[in-house]
Amino acid sequence: MILKILKTKEDYEAALIRLEAIFDSKKGDDSADELELLSLLIENYENQQYPIDLPDPIEAIKFRMDQLGYKQKDLAKALGQKSRVSEVLNKKRKLSIEMIRKLHETLGIPSEVLIRDY
């Protein structure tokens, strides 16, 4: 296969078929470089055609709390008081810059997710 920028759905589908054919290539194989380049081309096409938007900040907080087994009282240490946590999680209070910093540090949520409007 001649590698080129994927511009159409047909290009993309052909690239996926070729990727599947050479997927088990090992380093040093003739097709190993082709596999790596083809993966990058496919990723680029998917990022352009099927962009994934950042999640809602509050949903990201709830999801991360669930992952960590946190309750509202656990976030009160970062946000001040349990009532404030409740207001934030119910979208009755906007996140301040200080809250965003503390949530980023406490939960490890990227700040670009937390600063989004909701």
Mean pLDDT to the nearest integer, 105-112: 95
Percent of the chain with pLDDT over 90: 78
**Count of beta carbons in the 10 Å neighbourhood of residue 22:** 15
CATH number belonging to the domain at 57-114, selected among 1.10.260.40, 1.10.287.110, 3.40.190.80, 1.20.1070.10: 1.10.260.40
pLDDT for 113 equals: 96
DSSP 3-state of 36: helix
15-69 pLDDT per residue, tens: 999 999 999 877 777 788 899 999 999 999 999 999 998 999 999 999 999 999 9
pTM of the model: 0.64
Contacts 24+ apart (CB under 8 A), 16-21: 16/42
pLDDT score for 116: 93
Spans of all domains in the chain: 9-49, 57-114
